[in-house]
Structure 1
Amino acid sequence: MTNSQSSAPVLAFILYKYFPFGGLQRDFIRIASICQERGYNIRVYTFGWQGDIPDGFDVVQVPKKGLSSHAKNQNFLNWIDAHCAQHPVALTVGFNKMPGLDVYYVADGCYEARVSELYTGWRGKFYRLGGRYKHFSAYEKAAFGKESKTHLLVISDIQKPIYQRVYGTPDKRITMLPPGIARDRCAPDNSAALREEFRREFKIADDENLLLMVGSGFKTKGVDRSIDAVAALPEALRAKTHLFVIGQDKPDQFKRMAASFGERFRIFAGRDDIPRFMQGADFLIHPARHENTGTVLLEAVVAGLPVMVTDVCGYARYVAEAEAGEVLESPFIQGRFNHSLQRLLQTSKEQRQAWRANGIAFSQSADIYDMPKHAADTIIAIHNSQEQA
């Protein structure tokens, strides 16, 4: 895509949808804002934008045309190409996989590897004949293939070797980024008062347990697994256990699964007071089926909230490194998770306090806050190098 000759270069940030509480969306806002602070104009191409628009951002909503998701995506890209031809930009930065990007922020795992894992034998051959597969496979290859010129901002050290095994992506096109959580996620000095106020508001007694789950995509995050595990608890323990889920997804299926829990099970749409929930909860549980990173895991650790997580999550290693909870080994077995959750809820007050203290200590020394700055540095360096070429 074309370079702008203006004295105030325009960076085009591209993502299919923006809503205020998504992890990818929050990363995009923070990275784009730093680029803006450094003198760039910010244009955003998206199908839809929910929430406030930051001052100075030029949000261009692309018409949604096409019957299938992949037809909509192709029309999305064609429309942007035509718009950029009339309104040139200095650089394109994508947050979804697609052809023609100068920079791609790798928030998702490898689609091709996932297909190979899930669809084997005749099922795999049949699946690969479909339009959906051909579209997403082609878009991924356009970003990661050997012939691509897209520079990749990778946030998961688990996914990097997978992409390189599948596509042979050279190291020179990859920048590894550290995690980048906001410092307001750290446990505040008045955390005890926040906890007391929160639990009073939601009528949770001191001797009851609150399990917290945070993240959109409830099936992927393992909400059904958590509901099954809570249902399997001994009756006395189950009666004193609450499960709160925060995220954007269709909740009806999960509400039906947990109907017998009554008010002890609640689903909240995306919220901007997650730190308050983390101070009020006893554990974050995250039995995800797959997760490129899992920023919420780090946010819980630095908040002093002990974590139980499956080892398929990219940031699960930080839970182990901080000694701030438990990491469940693959393969996932529901019965084993049920037992682990019961044991977690029966841990001593001293063990819970130790996990909390370890997480807070980790927050004071770990390099986990500067990802947006490193990403912006790379984007600007790529633009400068293109200008000099």
Structure 2
Amino acid sequence: MTLAFVLYKYFPFGGLQRDFLRIALECQRRGHVIRVYCLEWQGELPQGFELNIAPVRAFSSHRRNQKFSQWLSRQLQQRPAERVIGFNKMPGLDFYFAADGCLAEKTHQSSWLRHLSGRYRHFLHYEQAVFSAQSATQILLIAKMQQPLFIAHYQTPPNRLHLLPPGLGQDRKRPLDGKTIRADFRREWQLEEGERLLLCIGSGFKTKGVDRSIKALAALPGSLKQRTQLFVIGEDNPKAFVKLAKQQGVGERVRFLGGRDDIARFLLGADLLIHPAYFESAGAVLLEALVFGLPVLVTDICGYAHYIREAKAGWVLPSPFMQQALVERLEQMLTDDDERAHYAQNALAFAGQVDLYRLPQHAADLILA
């Protein structure tokens, strides 16, 4: 079969993008032809993939998306595909990979002014095109907590909602020489004995709560703050967050390292993953921390936060979020070495018992059925 994979933008360090690539490669491995349609592609193109870049421009993102959908429809009329698999919400999909949460729920909770925005009306319309009871699109869910929200707002038939297992890459496994890698990493980054390293990982710094992490670091007691650093890894413009760190008096304690392909070394070298996200449909980085034995401090709004709770591999902050609760728990986790060691042991034990890698295979099973 010829499979059309559709997404607005591909870059190597996005969670949605990594899931797209693993699913497409799994379908290709099973003998199917892969066509990709997008607005922008960064990075290498896998061998055998056909890439189609939409020649559309617009002043606003929602108008650009509309033009892209119209272009895509014409392309598929000229060259049909047996399956159309989308990774962003839009009309005309056979399958939608639900990496984004329910916009109708977020809009319902926000200011009434958003209902008047052309941008929000556009995205709600595209969400409805996927999830309405009249649509035929099959939905691949990555977090169980999404399911009741879509059903409540759109009356989506449950038989169109398919919950996928987690899907870490096969390279996300703790190596046998993890302790040696950790020691080498900490020497490389000049982390002295007793110094603590926090990690924030994920593209989209605002959504991931990087501001909350910076403020929490700044609120630590003086001696602990002076021996704690925060490394922020991901693709985004750090300018506003660099300014915030300086305003909070921790500019020299926070480093922005961009997107990287050596995340494993950071997971082994750090002392804690801090992930106080405002919203996160899943959060694969939480599972990556599990398999590397890195304790996690996370908000319960994240779709995969329940794995941290079940594994007893860190602390899950309840909603509604309170900055002071984040600060208090961060201080506790940084100062209690025995607690962190216990969380790390629990994480590794849990990762050894639960399959965290089958998402691409399960998604391909559904797409190709």
Is 1:44 matched up with 2:10? no
Provide the rounded CA distance (Å) in 2 between the counterparts of 1:379 and 1:289: 31
Q: 1:266 maps to which residue?
A: 255
Provide the rounded CA distance (Å) in 2 between the counterparts of 1:262 and 1:280: 21
Q: 2:310 maps to which residue?
A: 321
From 82, 95, 118, the equivalent of 1:90 is 82
Q: 1:342 maps to which residue?
A: 331
Which secondary structure does the structure 2 equivalent of 1:13 belong to?
Answer: strand
Which secondary structure does the structure 1 equivalent of 2:182 belong to?
Answer: helix
After the TM superposition, which residues 14-33 of structure 1 pair with which residues of structure 2 at under 5 Å, given as runs? 14-33=6-25
Q: Which amino acid aligns with 1:319?
A: I
Is 1:70 matched up with 2:62? yes
Residues 308 and 326, structure 1, Cα contact 8 Å, conserved in 2: yes
Provide the rounded CA distance (Å) in 2 between the counterparts of 1:232 and 1:261: 10
Is 1:231 matched up with 2:241? no
Q: Deviations over 1:83-128 (max 9, x none)?
A: 1111121110000000110000000100010011112xxxx1x322
Residues 217 and 250, structure 2, Cα contact 8 Å, conserved in 1: no
Q: Which amino acid aligns with 1:366?
A: V
Is 1:170 matched up with 2:157? yes
Q: Deviations over 1:302-321 (max 9, x none)?
A: 11000000111110000011
Instruction: Answer with 241-250 or 64-73: which moved more.
Output: 64-73
Which secondary structure does the structure 2 equivalent of 1:243 belong to?
Answer: strand
From 305, 308, 312, the equivalent of 2:297 is 308
Q: Deviations over 1:349-379 (max 9, x none)?
A: x222221111111111102210110000000
Cα 1:183–1:353 shift into 2, 3 Å: farther
Q: TM-score, normalised by structure 1?
A: 0.93
Q: 1:384 maps to which residue?
A: none
Q: 1:60 maps to which residue?
A: 52
Q: Which amino acid aligns with 1:265?
A: V
From 329, 336, 356, the equivalent of 1:368 is 356
CA RMSD of aligned residues (A): 1.0
Q: 2:106 maps to which residue?
A: 114
Is 1:104 matched up with 2:96? yes
Instruction: Answer with 360-369 or 154-163: which moved more.
Output: 360-369
Q: 2:71 maps to which residue?
A: 79
Unaligned runs of 5+ in 2: none
Cα 1:262–1:204 shift into 2, 3 Å: farther
Measure how far apart 1:341 and its partner are.
1.1
Q: Which amino acid aligns with 1:375?
A: A
Is 1:357 matched up with 2:345? yes
Q: Which amino acid aligns with 1:317?
A: H
From 175, 179, 202, the equivalent of 2:189 is 202
Q: 1:154 maps to which residue?
A: 141
Residues 232 and 257, structure 2, Cα contact 8 Å, conserved in 1: yes
Unaligned runs of 5+ in 1: 1-8, 382-389
Which secondary structure does the structure 1 equivalent of 2:231 belong to?
Answer: strand
Residues 177 and 371, structure 1, Cα contact 8 Å, conserved in 2: yes
Provide the rounded CA distance (Å) in 2 between the counterparts of 1:367 and 1:39: 25
Identity %: 51
Measure how far apart 1:30 and its partner are.
0.4
Which secondary structure does the structure 2 equivalent of 1:272 belong to?
Answer: coil
Measure how far apart 1:262 and its partner are.
4.5
Q: Deviations over 1:145-174 (max 9, x none)?
A: 000000000111011111111111011111
Q: 2:171 maps to which residue?
A: 184
Which secondary structure does the structure 1 equivalent of 2:162 belong to?
Answer: strand
Residues 186 and 360, structure 1, Cα contact 8 Å, conserved in 2: no
Q: Which amino acid aligns with 1:108?
A: D
Measure how far apart 1:263 and its partner are.
4.0
Q: 1:378 maps to which residue?
A: 366
Provide the rounded CA distance (Å) in 2 between the counterparts of 1:213 and 1:235: 21
Which secondary structure does the structure 1 equivalent of 2:316 belong to?
Answer: strand
Measure how far apart 1:264 and its partner are.
2.5
Q: TM-score, normalised by structure 2?
A: 0.98
Instruction: Answer with 62-71 or 239-248: which moved more.
Output: 62-71
Provide the rounded CA distance (Å) in 2 between the counterparts of 1:176 and 1:45: 25
Is 1:245 matched up with 2:232? yes
Residues 212 and 244, structure 1, Cα contact 8 Å, conserved in 2: yes
Measure how far apart 1:338 and its partner are.
1.3
Measure how far apart 1:206 and its partner are.
2.1
Which secondary structure does the structure 2 equivalent of 1:331 belong to?
Answer: coil
Residues 191 and 279, structure 1, Cα contact 8 Å, conserved in 2: yes
Provide the rounded CA distance (Å) in 2 between the counterparts of 1:380 and 1:33: 13
Q: Deviations over 1:311-356 (max 9, x none)?
A: 11110000011111111111111122111111111112x2222211
Residues 186 and 363, structure 1, Cα contact 8 Å, conserved in 2: no
Provide the rounded CA distance (Å) in 1 between the counterparts of 2:243 and 2:199: 19
Measure how far apart 1:265 and its partner are.
1.2
